[in-house]
Amino acid sequence: MTVEHAPRGAALAEQGRLPSERVALVDLLDRLLAGGVVVSGDLVLSIADIDLVRISLRVLIMSVRENLGEP
Amino acid sequence: MTHVTDTGTYLYAVTQESPSPGPEGLRGVAGTAVRTIVDEGLVAYVSTVPLDEFGAEPLRRSMENLEWLGETAGAHHNVVEEVAEQRPTAPVRLVTVYRGDDQVRELLHERHDDFLDVLAHIAGRREWGVKAYIDLSVTEAAPAKSAGGPGTAYLKKRQAGLRSREEAWRQAAARAEELHVTLSSVAAASHRHRAQDPELSGRKEPMILNGAYLVDGDRDEVFLRAVEKLRGEGVDVELTGPWAPYSFTDLEVRGDG
Protein backbone atom coordinates (compact mmCIF):
# COMPACT_ATOMS: atom_id res chain seq x y z
CA MET A 1 0.00 0.00 0.00
CA THR A 2 1.28 3.41 -0.86
CA VAL A 3 -1.54 5.23 0.86
CA GLU A 4 -0.19 7.76 3.31
CA HIS A 5 -1.98 7.99 6.59
CA ALA A 6 -2.95 11.57 7.20
CA PRO A 7 -0.82 12.83 10.05
CA ARG A 8 -3.51 14.90 11.77
CA GLY A 9 -6.05 12.15 11.31
CA ALA A 10 -3.63 9.71 12.86
CA ALA A 11 -3.06 12.02 15.80
CA LEU A 12 -6.79 12.29 16.43
CA ALA A 13 -7.06 8.55 16.03
CA GLU A 14 -4.62 8.10 18.89
CA GLN A 15 -6.96 10.15 21.03
CA GLY A 16 -9.62 7.56 20.35
CA ARG A 17 -11.53 9.53 17.75
CA LEU A 18 -11.02 7.28 14.73
CA PRO A 19 -8.52 4.47 14.13
CA SER A 20 -6.03 5.54 11.48
CA GLU A 21 -6.66 2.49 9.31
CA ARG A 22 -10.30 3.59 9.16
CA VAL A 23 -9.18 7.02 8.01
CA ALA A 24 -7.31 5.36 5.16
CA LEU A 25 -10.24 3.02 4.45
CA VAL A 26 -12.55 6.01 4.01
CA ASP A 27 -10.22 7.44 1.35
CA LEU A 28 -9.93 4.04 -0.30
CA LEU A 29 -13.71 3.57 -0.39
CA ASP A 30 -14.12 7.04 -1.92
CA ARG A 31 -12.24 5.61 -4.88
CA LEU A 32 -13.29 1.98 -4.92
CA LEU A 33 -16.99 2.74 -4.64
CA ALA A 34 -17.29 6.03 -6.50
CA GLY A 35 -14.46 5.52 -9.01
CA GLY A 36 -13.06 2.76 -11.16
CA VAL A 37 -14.45 1.34 -14.35
CA VAL A 38 -18.16 0.76 -13.93
CA VAL A 39 -19.57 -1.98 -16.05
CA SER A 40 -23.30 -2.18 -16.17
CA GLY A 41 -25.49 -4.53 -18.09
CA ASP A 42 -26.60 -8.11 -18.16
CA LEU A 43 -23.10 -9.52 -18.12
CA VAL A 44 -22.57 -8.67 -14.50
CA LEU A 45 -24.14 -10.66 -11.71
CA SER A 46 -23.80 -7.66 -9.71
CA ILE A 47 -25.32 -5.40 -7.29
CA ALA A 48 -25.76 -2.39 -9.46
CA ASP A 49 -29.01 -1.67 -7.70
CA ILE A 50 -27.31 -1.27 -4.34
CA ASP A 51 -26.09 2.15 -3.39
CA LEU A 52 -22.64 1.02 -2.30
CA VAL A 53 -21.49 4.44 -1.22
CA ARG A 54 -24.46 4.94 1.08
CA ILE A 55 -24.09 1.50 2.64
CA SER A 56 -20.39 1.88 3.29
CA LEU A 57 -20.86 5.35 4.79
CA ARG A 58 -23.54 4.03 7.09
CA VAL A 59 -21.39 1.10 8.16
CA LEU A 60 -18.38 3.31 8.77
CA ILE A 61 -20.33 5.89 10.73
CA MET A 62 -21.88 3.16 12.87
CA SER A 63 -18.45 1.78 13.63
CA VAL A 64 -17.12 5.21 14.55
CA ARG A 65 -19.99 5.68 16.97
CA GLU A 66 -19.36 2.27 18.52
CA ASN A 67 -15.73 3.25 18.81
CA LEU A 68 -16.70 6.38 20.71
CA GLY A 69 -18.98 4.38 22.97
CA GLU A 70 -22.13 6.17 21.82
CA PRO A 71 -25.43 4.30 21.68
CA MET B 1 -31.29 -26.17 -2.68
CA THR B 2 -28.07 -24.16 -2.82
CA HIS B 3 -25.30 -24.72 -5.32
CA VAL B 4 -22.27 -24.41 -3.10
CA THR B 5 -19.85 -25.03 -5.96
CA ASP B 6 -21.15 -22.10 -8.07
CA THR B 7 -18.45 -19.60 -8.91
CA GLY B 8 -18.16 -16.24 -10.61
CA THR B 9 -15.31 -14.23 -12.14
CA TYR B 10 -14.25 -11.23 -10.05
CA LEU B 11 -12.72 -8.41 -12.11
CA TYR B 12 -10.04 -6.11 -10.59
CA ALA B 13 -8.46 -4.18 -13.43
CA VAL B 14 -7.83 -3.98 -17.16
CA THR B 15 -4.50 -3.24 -18.85
CA GLN B 16 -2.91 -3.55 -22.26
CA GLU B 17 -0.89 -6.67 -22.98
CA SER B 18 2.73 -6.11 -21.95
CA PRO B 19 5.88 -8.14 -21.45
CA SER B 20 5.89 -7.34 -17.70
CA PRO B 21 5.60 -10.31 -15.37
CA GLY B 22 2.11 -11.76 -14.81
CA PRO B 23 0.18 -12.12 -11.57
CA GLU B 24 1.76 -15.39 -10.43
CA GLY B 25 1.47 -15.76 -6.69
CA LEU B 26 -0.78 -12.69 -6.36
CA ARG B 27 -3.78 -13.19 -4.07
CA GLY B 28 -7.04 -11.31 -4.39
CA VAL B 29 -10.32 -11.10 -2.50
CA ALA B 30 -11.09 -13.96 -0.10
CA GLY B 31 -7.53 -15.26 -0.66
CA THR B 32 -8.29 -16.36 -4.25
CA ALA B 33 -5.51 -16.66 -6.86
CA VAL B 34 -5.32 -13.84 -9.39
CA ARG B 35 -5.04 -14.80 -13.07
CA THR B 36 -5.46 -13.07 -16.41
CA ILE B 37 -7.88 -13.22 -19.33
CA VAL B 38 -6.40 -11.92 -22.59
CA ASP B 39 -8.39 -10.69 -25.58
CA GLU B 40 -7.18 -8.61 -28.54
CA GLY B 41 -4.28 -7.04 -26.71
CA LEU B 42 -6.22 -6.28 -23.52
CA VAL B 43 -5.65 -8.11 -20.25
CA ALA B 44 -8.25 -8.51 -17.51
CA TYR B 45 -7.01 -9.37 -14.00
CA VAL B 46 -9.53 -11.68 -12.39
CA SER B 47 -10.01 -14.42 -9.83
CA THR B 48 -12.59 -17.14 -9.39
CA VAL B 49 -14.84 -16.41 -6.41
CA PRO B 50 -17.51 -18.51 -4.72
CA LEU B 51 -20.99 -17.12 -5.32
CA ASP B 52 -22.10 -18.08 -1.83
CA GLU B 53 -19.90 -15.14 -0.78
CA PHE B 54 -19.91 -12.94 -3.91
CA GLY B 55 -23.41 -13.43 -5.25
CA ALA B 56 -25.81 -10.48 -5.12
CA GLU B 57 -27.62 -11.59 -1.96
CA PRO B 58 -24.57 -12.46 0.19
CA LEU B 59 -22.92 -9.21 -0.96
CA ARG B 60 -25.92 -7.21 0.17
CA ARG B 61 -25.27 -8.51 3.68
CA SER B 62 -21.48 -8.51 3.72
CA MET B 63 -21.18 -4.95 2.42
CA GLU B 64 -22.68 -3.98 5.79
CA ASN B 65 -19.97 -5.84 7.65
CA LEU B 66 -17.11 -3.44 8.18
CA GLU B 67 -14.52 -6.14 8.74
CA TRP B 68 -15.47 -7.88 5.49
CA LEU B 69 -15.64 -4.57 3.62
CA GLY B 70 -12.22 -3.51 4.90
CA GLU B 71 -10.59 -6.82 4.01
CA THR B 72 -12.21 -6.99 0.58
CA ALA B 73 -11.39 -3.37 -0.27
CA GLY B 74 -7.80 -3.95 0.91
CA ALA B 75 -7.40 -7.11 -1.17
CA HIS B 76 -8.91 -5.46 -4.26
CA HIS B 77 -6.67 -2.42 -3.80
CA ASN B 78 -3.59 -4.61 -3.34
CA VAL B 79 -4.16 -6.36 -6.68
CA VAL B 80 -4.72 -3.03 -8.43
CA GLU B 81 -1.52 -1.59 -6.89
CA GLU B 82 0.58 -4.59 -7.88
CA VAL B 83 -0.71 -4.48 -11.44
CA ALA B 84 -0.50 -0.68 -11.74
CA GLU B 85 3.13 -0.67 -10.61
CA GLN B 86 4.16 -2.32 -13.88
CA ARG B 87 1.86 -0.78 -16.49
CA PRO B 88 -0.97 1.69 -17.18
CA THR B 89 -3.97 0.21 -15.38
CA ALA B 90 -7.68 0.89 -15.38
CA PRO B 91 -9.01 -0.19 -11.96
CA VAL B 92 -12.53 -1.61 -11.86
CA ARG B 93 -15.10 -0.74 -9.20
CA LEU B 94 -15.23 -2.88 -6.06
CA VAL B 95 -17.18 -6.17 -6.24
CA THR B 96 -17.70 -6.38 -10.00
CA VAL B 97 -18.50 -10.06 -10.48
CA TYR B 98 -19.21 -11.78 -13.81
CA ARG B 99 -20.93 -15.08 -14.33
CA GLY B 100 -17.81 -16.46 -16.00
CA ASP B 101 -14.67 -15.78 -18.04
CA ASP B 102 -16.62 -15.66 -21.32
CA GLN B 103 -18.54 -12.61 -20.10
CA VAL B 104 -15.27 -10.85 -19.25
CA ARG B 105 -13.92 -11.67 -22.71
CA GLU B 106 -17.09 -10.23 -24.18
CA LEU B 107 -16.54 -7.03 -22.18
CA LEU B 108 -12.95 -6.68 -23.45
CA HIS B 109 -14.18 -7.26 -26.97
CA GLU B 110 -17.15 -4.90 -26.87
CA ARG B 111 -15.42 -2.05 -25.05
CA HIS B 112 -12.00 -2.58 -26.63
CA ASP B 113 -11.62 0.94 -28.02
CA ASP B 114 -13.02 2.57 -24.89
CA PHE B 115 -10.47 0.72 -22.76
CA LEU B 116 -7.67 1.81 -25.09
CA ASP B 117 -8.84 5.44 -24.79
CA VAL B 118 -8.93 5.28 -20.99
CA LEU B 119 -5.53 3.57 -20.80
CA ALA B 120 -3.97 6.14 -23.13
CA HIS B 121 -5.43 8.93 -20.99
CA ILE B 122 -3.92 7.64 -17.73
CA ALA B 123 -0.60 6.31 -19.05
CA GLY B 124 2.39 7.89 -17.28
CA ARG B 125 0.10 9.66 -14.80
CA ARG B 126 -0.81 9.07 -11.19
CA GLU B 127 -3.69 10.16 -9.02
CA TRP B 128 -3.21 12.30 -5.91
CA GLY B 129 -5.87 12.93 -3.32
CA VAL B 130 -6.13 16.34 -1.67
CA LYS B 131 -8.50 17.00 1.20
CA ALA B 132 -8.88 20.54 2.47
CA TYR B 133 -10.39 21.57 5.79
CA ILE B 134 -11.37 25.01 6.95
CA ASP B 135 -11.40 26.35 10.47
CA LEU B 136 -14.50 28.52 10.41
CA SER B 137 -13.58 30.23 13.69
CA VAL B 138 -10.60 31.77 11.89
CA THR B 139 -12.51 32.83 8.79
CA GLU B 140 -15.88 33.69 10.35
CA ALA B 141 -16.66 37.42 10.42
CA ALA B 142 -17.03 39.00 13.85
CA PRO B 143 -20.71 39.42 14.88
CA ALA B 144 -22.11 42.93 14.52
CA LYS B 145 -22.42 45.19 17.58
CA SER B 146 -25.90 45.27 19.12
CA ALA B 147 -28.18 48.28 19.52
CA GLY B 148 -31.64 48.73 21.08
CA GLY B 149 -33.26 46.78 23.96
CA PRO B 150 -32.12 43.38 25.16
CA GLY B 151 -34.74 41.55 23.06
CA THR B 152 -33.85 43.40 19.87
CA ALA B 153 -30.20 43.00 20.71
CA TYR B 154 -30.66 39.24 20.99
CA LEU B 155 -32.57 39.03 17.70
CA LYS B 156 -30.11 41.25 15.92
CA LYS B 157 -27.22 39.27 17.31
CA ARG B 158 -28.86 36.05 16.25
CA GLN B 159 -29.56 37.35 12.77
CA ALA B 160 -26.05 38.66 12.48
CA GLY B 161 -24.76 35.31 13.72
CA LEU B 162 -26.78 33.48 11.09
CA ARG B 163 -25.71 35.91 8.42
CA SER B 164 -22.05 35.66 9.34
CA ARG B 165 -22.29 31.89 9.47
CA GLU B 166 -23.92 31.80 6.06
CA GLU B 167 -21.29 34.20 4.83
CA ALA B 168 -18.54 32.01 6.30
CA TRP B 169 -19.92 28.99 4.46
CA ARG B 170 -20.24 30.95 1.25
CA GLN B 171 -16.61 32.00 1.60
CA ALA B 172 -15.59 28.44 2.41
CA ALA B 173 -17.27 27.16 -0.76
CA ALA B 174 -15.58 29.86 -2.83
CA ARG B 175 -12.26 29.02 -1.19
CA ALA B 176 -12.74 25.32 -2.02
CA GLU B 177 -13.43 26.16 -5.65
CA GLU B 178 -10.33 28.35 -5.74
CA LEU B 179 -8.16 25.53 -4.33
CA HIS B 180 -9.62 23.08 -6.82
CA VAL B 181 -9.00 25.39 -9.77
CA THR B 182 -5.41 26.01 -8.63
CA LEU B 183 -4.65 22.29 -8.37
CA SER B 184 -6.52 21.47 -11.58
CA SER B 185 -4.31 23.90 -13.47
CA VAL B 186 -1.26 21.72 -12.68
CA ALA B 187 -3.10 18.44 -13.28
CA ALA B 188 -4.02 16.61 -16.49
CA ALA B 189 -7.52 15.96 -15.14
CA SER B 190 -9.39 16.47 -11.90
CA HIS B 191 -12.42 15.19 -10.07
CA ARG B 192 -14.19 16.30 -6.89
CA HIS B 193 -15.38 13.50 -4.64
CA ARG B 194 -18.11 14.13 -2.12
CA ALA B 195 -16.65 15.81 0.98
CA GLN B 196 -16.33 13.41 3.88
CA ASP B 197 -18.48 13.68 6.97
CA PRO B 198 -16.52 14.96 10.01
CA GLU B 199 -17.26 11.62 11.69
CA LEU B 200 -15.33 9.89 8.91
CA SER B 201 -12.59 12.41 8.19
CA GLY B 202 -11.36 12.26 11.77
CA ARG B 203 -11.23 16.05 11.85
CA LYS B 204 -13.34 18.57 13.71
CA GLU B 205 -13.10 21.21 10.99
CA PRO B 206 -15.42 20.70 8.02
CA MET B 207 -13.90 19.28 4.86
CA ILE B 208 -14.44 21.72 2.02
CA LEU B 209 -12.60 19.83 -0.71
CA ASN B 210 -12.12 16.12 -1.41
CA GLY B 211 -10.34 16.30 -4.73
CA ALA B 212 -8.59 13.79 -6.98
CA TYR B 213 -5.96 14.97 -9.45
CA LEU B 214 -4.39 13.05 -12.30
CA VAL B 215 -0.82 14.27 -12.59
CA ASP B 216 1.87 13.62 -15.20
CA GLY B 217 4.82 11.68 -13.76
CA ASP B 218 7.23 14.55 -14.39
CA ARG B 219 4.84 17.12 -12.87
CA ASP B 220 4.57 15.46 -9.44
CA GLU B 221 6.94 17.94 -7.79
CA VAL B 222 5.17 20.96 -9.26
CA PHE B 223 1.86 19.56 -8.07
CA LEU B 224 3.09 18.79 -4.55
CA ARG B 225 4.54 22.29 -4.24
CA ALA B 226 1.16 23.73 -5.28
CA VAL B 227 -0.49 21.64 -2.56
CA GLU B 228 1.89 22.98 0.10
CA LYS B 229 1.05 26.56 -0.92
CA LEU B 230 -2.66 26.03 -0.22
CA ARG B 231 -2.16 25.99 3.55
CA GLY B 232 -2.96 29.06 5.62
CA GLU B 233 -5.82 31.46 6.44
CA GLY B 234 -7.66 28.75 8.35
CA VAL B 235 -7.18 26.16 5.61
CA ASP B 236 -5.34 22.91 6.20
CA VAL B 237 -4.72 20.28 3.56
CA GLU B 238 -4.05 16.55 3.63
CA LEU B 239 -2.44 14.69 0.79
CA THR B 240 -3.01 11.01 -0.03
CA GLY B 241 -1.47 8.90 -2.74
CA PRO B 242 -0.16 8.39 -5.23
CA TRP B 243 -3.10 6.19 -6.15
CA ALA B 244 -3.82 4.09 -9.20
CA PRO B 245 -6.10 6.29 -11.34
CA TYR B 246 -9.35 5.17 -9.68
CA SER B 247 -11.08 8.49 -10.20
CA PHE B 248 -10.24 8.78 -13.91
CA THR B 249 -11.32 5.53 -15.48
CA ASP B 250 -15.02 5.96 -15.90
CA LEU B 251 -15.77 4.50 -19.30
CA GLU B 252 -18.75 6.76 -19.83
CA VAL B 253 -17.36 10.05 -18.57
CA ARG B 254 -13.61 10.21 -18.50
CA GLY B 255 -13.38 13.05 -16.01
CA ASP B 256 -11.52 15.63 -18.03
CA GLY B 257 -13.34 18.44 -16.28
Tell which of B122, B149, B177 closes a domain. Answer: B122
- Regarding whether B117 and B130 lie in a shared domain, the answer is no
* Residue A17 pLDDT greater than 70, yes or no: no
- Regarding whether B231 and B199 lie in a shared domain, the answer is yes
- Regarding whether B103 and B27 lie in a shared domain, the answer is yes
Instruction: Establish how many alpha carbons lie within 13 A of residue B139's alpha carbon, considering only the half-sphere containing its beta carbon.
Output: 22
| Residue B36, domain member (yes or no) | yes
pLDDT greater at residue B163 or residue B63: B63
Tell me whether residues B77 and A4 touch, CB distance under 8 A.
no
Tell me whether residues B107 and A43 touch, CB distance under 8 A.
yes
- Regarding whether B153 and B109 lie in a shared domain, the answer is no
Residues B150-178 have a mean pLDDT of 83
Sorted by sequence, the CB contacts under 8 Å of residue B71 that are 6+ apart come out as none
Percent of chain B at pLDDT exceeding 90 = 63
* Residue B17 pLDDT greater than 50, yes or no: yes
Tell which of B122, B152, B175 closes a domain. Answer: B122
* Residue B74 pLDDT greater than 80, yes or no: yes
Which pLDDT score is estimated for B253?
A: 37
Tell me whether residues B56 and A43 touch, CB distance under 8 A.
no
Determine contact: B220 vs chain A, CB below 8 A: no
- List CB contacts (< 8 A) between B101 and chain A: none
Distance from CA of B199 to the nearest CA of A (A): 7
- Regarding whether B224 and B142 lie in a shared domain, the answer is yes
Which pLDDT score is estimated for B200?
A: 81
Which pLDDT score is estimated for A16?
A: 41
* Residue B91 pLDDT greater than 60, yes or no: yes
Choice among A26-30, B145-149, B186-190 with the minimum mean pLDDT: B145-149
| Residue B2, domain member (yes or no) | no
Determine contact: B42 vs chain A, CB below 8 A: no
Which pLDDT score is estimated for A11?
A: 44
- Regarding whether B105 and B86 lie in a shared domain, the answer is yes
Band of pLDDT at residue A19, cut at 50, 70 and 90: low
Band of pLDDT at residue A1, cut at 50, 70 and 90: very low
Interface pTM, i.e. ipTM? 0.80
**Backbone dihedral angles phi then psi of residue B47, each to the nearest 5 degrees:** -145, 160
* Residue B191 pLDDT greater than 80, yes or no: yes
* Residue B239 pLDDT greater than 70, yes or no: yes
* Residue B49 pLDDT greater than 80, yes or no: yes
- Regarding whether B133 and B109 lie in a shared domain, the answer is no
What is the average pLDDT value for chain B, to the nearest integer? 88
| Residue B49, domain member (yes or no) | yes
Choice among B102-111, B174-183, B219-228 with the minimum mean pLDDT: B102-111
Query: Looking at the 3D structure of chain B, how many domains does it have?
Result: 2
Q: Report pTM.
A: 0.81
Find the CB nearest A37 among B93, B199, B212. Answer: B93
Tell me whether residues A35 and B93 touch, CB distance under 8 A.
yes
Which pLDDT score is estimated for B145?
A: 52
Listed ranges A12-26, B11-25, B124-138, B173-187; the one with the highest mean pLDDT:
B173-187
* Residue B126 pLDDT greater than 80, yes or no: yes
Mutate to test the interface with A, among B103, B118, B240 (most CBs of A within 10 A): B240
Which pLDDT score is estimated for B198?
A: 83
pLDDT greater at residue A15 or residue B155: B155
Residues 155-194 of chain B whose Cβ lies under 8 A from any Cβ of chain A: 191, 193-194
Tell me whether residues B93 and A36 touch, CB distance under 8 A.
yes
Range of the domain at B51: 7-122
- Regarding whether B158 and B111 lie in a shared domain, the answer is no
Which pLDDT score is estimated for B20?
A: 82
- Judged by DSSP in three states, A17 sits in coil
* Domain spans, chain A: 7-67
